[in-house]
Amino acid sequence: MSSSEEDTHVKSPDRKKIRKGRIKDVMKQIRLQSHEHGEDCFCKRLQCFKNVSAIERQRLLRHFNQLQTVNEQNNFLASMITLNLVKQRRSRKENIEECKHHDCHYSYIVKVVRDDGCHEVQVCFKAFCAIFGITKSKVQYIQTHLKLTGVAPQDKRGKHENRPKKVSDTTLNLIKEHLKSFKGRTSHYSNKKSSKIYLPEEFNIKKVYELFIEKNPDLKEILSYERYRQEFKKYNVSFGYPRSDTCSSCDKINAELNSLKKTKEKTLEIERKIHNLKIEKKLHILKASVFYDRKKKAKLRAKTDKSYVAIAMDYQKNVSLPNITTNDVYYRRQLSMYTFNIHVLATGRSYFFCYPETTSKKGSMEVMSFLHYFIVHCLDKSVKHLSIFCDSAGGQNKNYNMIKFAYFLTHESKLLDSVSFTFPVRGHSYMECDKNFGVVKLKTRMELPNDFYNLLISARSKPEPLIVVNVEQQPEIVRNWVDFLSNGNYKKTAPFKIQEIREFKTSSDKGSIQYRPNYNGLFYNSIITQKNKKNQLVMPKCQENEFYMPPSAYQEPLAITKEKYSDLQVLKEFCSHQAKSYFNSLPH
């Protein structure tokens, strides 16, 4: 990835287009905030347009248009209307009973800000309407409410109880149960932090509504799409693949900036806070860009130094099988396919370790196994230094097992002279692996794992096709490194806080782990080997260039849940005969 692409990702990450709402809601807001000045009243007694300058009139109208609701505008206008008792009545008719006397009369003011403070300027009725761009009936409506109730009128549209087409509670419960029946995905990055369910990318509210009507045809005349959409928005359901690895620091700073910018009063303290937040955000972005700079330098070094290799590695999102075009897929659990990618930065060569959930899991043991296989079978023997760039997933990459494994590579197996790990700032972890995942067209029809393997092989042609390692056919690749490295030769727990580090490395000429909590500065040294020799596991000495390997992690396939097996038995009816026999053979 070029530096320009890296900078673009860091500075302006892709965002979903902001939804402004339905057209009728937008038009209602436009009508509310599009009042325009009226004509001059040419008032000789009060001289309204002379006492209130053009700039002051513009400021009043701008403030009036910025009010968000009808109630706010009514309250604002009512605060400038004064109700006065009639002091003198002069009847023009002889019969007083036939006269229609006014109960009261009204005076109007506008509040303008001038050099020495806020002033109340009296204006006439016509000027009052012209300044705020309102009609005569609007003012009379407010006057009537002031006279009868003493307060401004409140908007009661949509608050009545006469609703003959109201959706019943039974129908609402059916909608809720229908949404619960979908077997969506949780977030790949934060599935333990969010209960939000994600439906496939090709889905939308219209499609969900059609599926609901298909199950409940009697409700077609009662429940409109618009009403269904309003109810759907109440639930924690979304579409597309979840990307919740956004930077929490950036989100927090942006939220604070937006709230401060929307404040009406711009005081010196608020301006100072905005300035400090912008500086904080800039420093944070610069710190995050260091990871991409290090990766770029490692890539350039790997092109010239044959003894040095830099890689990026990451797990792809789970792929569900069978991937077929039938509505029953959305209501059923499917078989998950796991994919681990190792991308060589210098050459662009990319290795995909693929397997179904019945073969292995997605933990640190699998990452160590694939990494060891890559070092032994894919790296040239002349390579002695390895730099690894990966995200900070605690259960896979950034843990004590991985630190012990790096030490094992340089001190016990002596496959490498040095190994280093570099972790990005959370939310700024876009790497070449993500680009490799993006070229795979996951909407292709797939029934069996072999279909997925073939899709990966044909997904890319330049600089070379993706190299697919079928772990299902070679289950011995996954070895029990966790128990093997817990043999008493290492300390039980890490002597430092692993989640706080940005880099760590180990080399054969030093008996300690070097780490640092930032990208610059001195490395700290820490010994992870056990000093007490009594608890260490004693093994016979190996000959030169030999070392012990852990046993296979799983002796038999892993069982899936009974519920998933039952759902797969339903889905297999839409697949080929070969797929049916495969799903029948799954352990459960």
Residues 142 and 229 occupy one common structural domain: no
Q: Has residue 292 been placed in a domain?
A: no
**How far is residue 383's CA from residue 389's CA, in Å, rounded to a whole number?**
17
* Same domain for 172 and 143: no
How many angstroms separate the CA atoms of 226 and 206, rounded? 10
With a cut of 90, say whether residue 538 has pLDDT above it: no
Selected residue with higher pLDDT from 98 and 295: 295
pLDDT tens per residue across span 183-206 = 776 654 443 455 677 777 777 888
pLDDT of residue 97: 64
The H helix count followed by the E strand count for the chain is 19, 15
Residues 140 and 194 in one domain: no
Decide if 579 is inside a domain.
no
Q: Report yes or no on 570 lying in a domain.
A: no
The interaxial angle of helices 136-148 and 125-132, nearest 10 deg, is 110
Residue 343 and residue 219 share a domain:
no
457 and 328 share a domain? yes
Q: Taking Cα atoms as reference points, which of 337, 342, 349 lies closest to residue 369?
A: 342
The backbone torsions φ and ψ at residue 75, rounded to the nearest 5 degrees and listed phi first, read -65, -40
CA 388 to chain centre: 26
Together in a domain, 389 and 519: yes
Q: In the predicted model, is pLDDT for residue 17 greater than 80?
A: no
Instruction: Tell me the mean pLDDT in the region 151-175.
Output: 83
Boundary of a domain, candidates 239, 257, 290: 239
pLDDT-above-70 percentage for the chain: 88
Question: Rounded to a whole number, what is the largest CA-CA distance in the chain?
Answer: 131
Kindly report, residue by residue over 96-107, the tens digit of the pLDDT: 666 667 778 889
Q: How far apart are CA 250 and CA 254, in angstroms?
A: 6
Count how many domains the chain has.
3
**Which of residues 217, 239, 261 is at a domain's end?**
239
Which domain-ending residue is among 215, 239, 263? 239
Whether 584 has a pLDDT exceeding 60, the answer reads: yes
Helix axes 3-11, 268-304, angle to 10 degrees: 150
In a domain, 200, yes or no: yes
Same domain? For 129 and 201 the reply is: no
Average pLDDT value for residue range 368-372: 95
Residue with tokens 């700039």: 55
50 and 122 in a single domain? The answer is yes
* 353 has pLDDT over 50: yes
242 pLDDT tier (thresholds 50, 70, 90):
low
Identify the pLDDT of residue 421: 95
Average pLDDT over residues 254-272: 79
Rg (CA), the chain: 35
User: What's the pLDDT at 20?
Assistant: 53
Strand partners, 82: 107
What pLDDT, on the 0 to 100 scale, is given for residue 251? 73
pLDDT attached to residue 569: 92
The whole-number pLDDT of residue 272 equals 85
Tell me if 160 is assigned to some domain: no
Q: What is the pLDDT of residue 4?
A: 40
Q: How far apart are CA 334 and CA 337, in angstroms?
A: 10
Say whether both 191 and 304 belong to one domain: no
Cα–Cα distance measured from residue 342 to residue 129, given in angstroms and rounded to the nearest whole number: 70
Q: Is residue 549 part of a domain?
A: yes
Instruction: With respect to residue 1, please indicate whether it lies within any of the assigned structural domains.
Output: no
Quick: pLDDT tens for 79-92. Answer: 999 988 887 777 66
Does residue 477 sit in the same domain as residue 340?
yes
The mean pLDDT of 150-169, rounded to a whole number, is 82
Confidence of residue 12 (pLDDT cuts 50, 70, 90): very low
Residue 535 banded pLDDT, cuts 50, 70, 90: low
In the prediction, which pLDDT does 15 show?
A: 45
Report the chain's mean pLDDT, rounded to a whole number.
84
Domain that holds residue 231: 167-239
Mean pLDDT on 568-580: 90
pLDDT score for 340: 95
The answer to the question of residue 93 being in a domain is no
Helices (H), 305-431: 364-373, 400-411
d(CA 455, CA 451): 6
Query: Where is 565: in which H helix or E strand?
Result: helix 562-571
CA distances 170 to 176, 221, 223, 233, Å, are 10, 15, 12, 18
User: Are 74 and 202 in the same domain?
Assistant: no
245 pLDDT exceeds 70?
Answer: no
Give yes or no: residues 328 and 405 share one domain.
yes
